[in-house]
Structure 1
Amino acid sequence: MKIYSFEKLDVWQESIVLVKLIYTLTDTFPSEEKFGLTSQLRRASISISSNLAEGTSRKTQKDKAHFTTISFSSAMEVLNQLIIGKDLGFISENDYILARQKIEKITNMLNALRNYQLNK
């Protein structure tokens, strides 16, 4: 089986771990949030890895960096929604801290990747 370049990226692998964490956290959200915050969090977390994957198929480094920036923006969207989830009492403080630490790691990696892409 062929391994695509995005699958080799450490940041892509970390973003998949975040998706799994978000799915686990949102499993406990109230059922009335199924089409609200639960859906938003899941889609935004998936967007991080999806944009990394899409960006690797682009020809220029500038285009690749653009998709890395979109991934970063999606990570900020996830963080915002986690803050809301915590404030609404849907996420425990410990789970929030764990997810926030994961996002910080991913955003640091995204910044490094973007800098590499723009300076290559």
Structure 2
Amino acid sequence: MYVKSFRNLEVYKRARELSGVIFQITSGFPKEETYSLTDQVRRSSRSVGAQIAEAWGKRRYEKHFISKLTDADGEQLETQHWIETVMDCSYISEEVAKDLLKQYATIGKMLNSMMNKSESFCNNVVNEASPTDY
């Protein structure tokens, strides 16, 4: 076992950090986007970390673990779509969009690596660390 908690996973830390960046960026969107584009990109970006946490809780069942990581990968890809849409609406620059897309692609690679090495995460599962262990 490499880590005690999903909170210690680098991919989880990056996903949380990026969802914070997305929140900050979307705070400046026009009011008319509040219940559409703003909501969509925030939800998908936040869901990446949530799916990773849920996958961690399902490590006793390798197929469930992989399934939740697949969901996390789907959410990061959806977030990439919304980032491109945000750029198309001229709410962010192409440079900012490219940087965010690159960071989400890295998360995707990390998730795929975890899926490919799922047995190392799922063998010898012990009780989850408490919130104070992070």
CA displacement at 1:69 relative to structure 2: 0.3
> Helix, strand or coil: the match of 2:77?
helix
In the TM superposition, structure 1's runs of 4+ consecutive aligned residues that sit over 4 Å from their partners are none
What is the aligned partner in structure 1 of residue 47 from structure 2? 47
What is the aligned partner in structure 2 of residue 115 from structure 1? 116
Residues in 1 aligned to 2:84 and 2:119: alpha-carbon distance in whole angstroms: 31
Structure 2 length normalisation: TM-score? Answer: 0.83
The superposition leaves residues 71-104 of structure 1 with CA deviations (integer Å, 9 ceiling, x where unpaired) of 0000010000111111111111121011111101
What is the aligned partner in structure 2 of residue 105 from structure 1? 106
Give the % identical residues. Answer: 27
Tell me, which stretches of 5 or more residues in structure 2 are unaligned?
A: 123-134
What is the aligned partner in structure 2 of residue 20 from structure 1? 20
Matches within 5 A, 1:73-112: 73-112=74-113
> Helix, strand or coil: the match of 2:117?
helix
The answer as to whether partners of 1:21 and 1:99 remain within 8 angstroms in 2 is no
Residues in 2 aligned to 1:40 and 1:104: alpha-carbon distance in whole angstroms: 19
What is the aligned partner in structure 2 of residue 62 from structure 1? 63
What is the aligned partner in structure 1 of residue 131 from structure 2? none
Structure 1 length normalisation: TM-score? Answer: 0.92
What is the aligned partner in structure 2 of residue 9 from structure 1? 9
> Helix, strand or coil: the match of 2:64?
helix
CA displacement at 1:4 relative to structure 2: 5.7
Cα 1:80–1:40 change in 2 (3 A) is same
> Helix, strand or coil: the match of 1:75?
helix
> Helix, strand or coil: the match of 2:91?
coil
Tell me, which stretches of 5 or more residues in structure 1 are unaligned?
A: none
Q: How many pairs does the alignment contain?
A: 118
